[in-house]
Amino acid sequence: MSRGNQDNLGPYRLLNLVMTGQTSQVWEVMHEAKRERFALKMLLADFRKDREQLGYLKHEYAVGTALKHPKVIRIYEIGADRGINFLVMEYFAHPNMKVWVRRGLDAIVHHIPKIIEQAAESLSYFNDQGWIHRDVKPENYLVTADGDVRLIDFALAQKKRSGLMKLFGGSSKIQGTRSYMSPEQIRGDALDQRADVYSFGCTIYELLVGKPPFAGGDSNDLLRKHLRTNAPSVDASNRNVTPEFCDLVRRMLAKKPADRPDSMDKVLRELKTTRVFRITPRAPDSREKAENTG
């Protein structure tokens, strides 16, 4: 955005650019009348007239505005100013899970059980509201240095099929992120919440191991591995993870939906009674916490 009077969109003053994605930017903004901070997502210039991207923005608003859970990002408003469509959300100024993984996790390893449980809680709630997220991945969980979590990005969310829709609903459009897509999502099959269970398994696998369960020489090789190859056990790379927790991750990553826990609610119940680590990691001291929050 240019300077001067272009620093505002509607009642919101643009303060700081938070991130730039392939099709959109997220800004920290101030509502000038309310004097409250929010996050504002706007489409990049090349996509402001793109019907598909405008549709995703409107869909994210339609999904998110009805969600009210402390671990799911709040969405408040959709608007347009000077031909720029935007979405206004809760401002939660913390890195996503992928950023923490790339940093090496030392700062938050003590909080990983809490992070996993909160991440599961948010996704269980999302599914319980009748939605399949379809893009569960580390980038779509924001995480504080103390392990507090927010689930974000509902642009690809799809209504769960029920009744006759299960019989005659047809296939799903193939969308998602390749490193975390379930086999049925890759095939374009009709989906239910077990697709999110698989993607959640990939996500916490990466949180514990430092990389996704599969890597490929190219995108097709990666997708073939999701379809045909069993992931290495978590404890092959992280010996501090308990056998019981490794088994839970293994079942979430089952190729057949029928072999997985059949809901995130069941995953959450198991998480509450399954120890993640053999030896509890050391909590960061005050100096280390300051370095990772400063």
| 6: confidence class by pLDDT, cuts 50, 70, 90 | low
Tell me what pLDDT residue 239 has: 98
Task: Report the alpha-carbon distance of residue 22 to residue 247 in Å, rounded.
Answer: 36
Tell me what pLDDT residue 283 has: 84
Digit-coded pLDDT (tens) for 44-70: 999 999 999 999 999 999 999 999 999
Digit-coded pLDDT (tens) for 72-95: 999 999 999 999 999 999 999 999
Digit-coded pLDDT (tens) for 157-185: 999 876 444 544 555 567 899 999 999 99
Tell me what pLDDT residue 217 has: 84
Those residues whose C-beta lies under 8 Å from the C-beta of residue 167, and which sit 6 or more positions away, are: none
Tell me what pLDDT residue 294 has: 54
- What global pTM score does this model have? 0.92
* pLDDT at position 147 over 70: yes
Task: Report the alpha-carbon distance of residue 125 to residue 122 in Å, rounded.
Answer: 5
Digit-coded pLDDT (tens) for 14-31: 999 999 999 999 999 999
The secondary structure of residue 136, as a DSSP letter, is: -
Digit-coded pLDDT (tens) for 126-136: 999 999 999 99
Domains of the chain: 4-89 (3.30.200.20), 97-271 (1.10.510.10)
Task: Report the alpha-carbon distance of residue 226 to residue 115 in Å, rounded.
Answer: 25
The secondary structure of residue 272, as a DSSP letter, is: T
Percentage of the chain lying above the pLDDT 70 cut:
91
Count of CB atoms situated within 10 Å of the CB of 51: 8
Judge whether 235 counts as a catalytic residue: no
Long-range contacts (CB closer than 8 Å, 24 or more residues apart) made by 218-226:
219/178, 222/178, 222/179, 223/178, 223/181, 223/186, 226/178, 226/181, 226/182, 226/183, 226/186
Those residues whose C-beta lies under 8 Å from the C-beta of residue 99, and which sit 6 or more positions away, are: none
Given 135, 153, 192, 196, the catalytic residue = 135
Tell me what pLDDT residue 4 has: 44
